[in-house]
Amino acid sequence: MLLRIPLYLQIVIALILAIILGVLLGAGNPIIDKELINHLTIPCTLILKALRTLATPLIFLAIIHTFLTAQIPGGSGRKLVTLLLTNTLVAIIIGLLVANILRPGTWGNLTIESAIKAPEKTLDPWGLLQDIIPESVVKPLVDNNVIQLIFVALSFAIVLRALKTQQIEQGKSDYLPVEQFVTILFEAVIRILHWVIALVPIAVFGIVAQTIALKGFAPFQSLGIFVIAVILALFLQATYYLTRVKLGSWVNPINFIKGGSDALITAFSTASSTVTMPITFESLIQKVGLRESSASLGALVGSNFNNDGTALYEAMSALFVSQVLGQNLTIPQQLIVMLTSIIASVGAAGIPEAGLVTMTLVFSSVGLPTQYIAVLITVDWFLDRCRTAINVMGDMTVSALIDGKQQMKYVEYDPTTEVEAES
């Protein structure tokens, strides 16, 4: 029965119940033993552990799966990668700028006593370089070392892709079992992730009830400012997309929004870019009037690993938590956040709350306590929807830019009529 209620609604219900319990327990002046109240955070600790455990296999398999299965026609590959990378970089820079200017973490006091601060890490480029090669292939998975993990995953991914291409040229198909194995394993990890995500409302309930019981409502002030900051940054990213579409393609930005509105609304309501993918694809061809090849590159390929909204959000969250802790991230540390956020956004599956999983890696890379992700969960049900819409808008933008300045022949653009695409 509970499972039929959409996740966001379950979280809202959990929030309401938690507020009631927190108030009953004292709302800042606990009426029972503090230790007992602290037990409320146990489900949250377990869920965070599970998310952390899943993060490494998820990123590892996502990288290999993407390289093995992406269908990129020759010639478009470089353009696609450049577009994806610049858009993601702009997203992260916008996120970091907004977080540095508004400093949402400095409003109100959100500190969690139980959070263990990981030792502060500073950037040592030589150390980083020496550390990039792991002592064994499985060590990055065991240690959750994201940089080493990416090194191993990319090595395998590039080689497997090359072998696949070679075999296809020779008419062989020995690569198929490996591809199927990776695909099944990737799907399996995502399924387990779904189980963990289904438990998120319980975590929200516990952490919010505990915080309100012990500290009242003051800690949530900075979260409110954080939500506003993220929305502002996502809005700036959307403006950037529209500017790029205007300057780099034949598509009129207003028609772009009108034609893509179905996809954007679906993204917001499902919080899943994967679920939205077929609608994005259809809208781009039928309503915006792009070529099928451009739409498939942006929507089908992009939706797998182009998550600018997620990258922006992860970078902002790291900065936010560092501000809450009064330990401002230095510029080199913010560079590490940029790097890991790019990877985290690539590794984030297009399903609700996936960004939270890979966020554990971003936090660990700069030594931020992952317990704070629990606090972010309370607002994530809403911010996830907003960033998913931006993820989808990013895919649409890439498609439009790949379509170029020349409109497809034979198709007169009219957003009010559904135009059948001819290739």
Contact residues toward ligand ASP (CB under 6 A) are: 271-273, 307, 310, 348, 350-355, 384, 387-388, 391
Between 219 and 352, name the residue whose CB sits nearer to ligand ASP: 352
144: region left, alpha or beta (phi > 0 left; psi from -120 to 50 alpha): left
CB of 308 to ligand ASP, least distance (A): 10
User: DSSP per residue over 259-295, as a string?
Assistant: HHHHHHHHHHHH--HHHHHHHHHHIIIIII---HHHH
CB of 390 to ligand ASP, least distance (A): 9
Residues 209, 25 contacting (CB under 8 angstroms): yes
CB of 10 to ligand ASP, least distance (A): 16
What is the token pair recorded at 131?
């550390």
Between 205 and 268, name the residue whose CB sits nearer to ligand ASP: 268
CA atoms of 36 and 181, how far apart (whole Å): 46
Residues 329, 319 contacting (CB under 8 angstroms): yes
CB of 322 to ligand ASP, least distance (A): 20
Residues 92, 310 contacting (CB under 8 angstroms): no
CB of 307 to ligand ASP, least distance (A): 5
Question: Which residue minimizes CB distance to ligand ASP?
Answer: 355
Element (H, E) at 14: helix 7-24
CB of 310 to ligand ASP, least distance (A): 4
Between 200 and 212, name the residue whose CB sits nearer to ligand ASP: 200
Between 353 and 403, name the residue whose CB sits nearer to ligand ASP: 353
Between 395 and 403, name the residue whose CB sits nearer to ligand ASP: 395
Between 384 and 403, name the residue whose CB sits nearer to ligand ASP: 384
Residue 173: count other Cβ atoms within 10 Å of its Cβ. Answer: 11
Q: What are the strands, taking DSSP E only, across 53-183? A: none
CA atoms of 283 and 65, how far apart (whole Å): 26
CB of 137 to ligand ASP, least distance (A): 28
DSSP one-letter code for 325: T
Between 289 and 352, name the residue whose CB sits nearer to ligand ASP: 352
Residues 30, 212 contacting (CB under 8 angstroms): no
CA atoms of 195 and 184, how far apart (whole Å): 17
Residue 99: count other Cβ atoms within 10 Å of its Cβ. Answer: 26
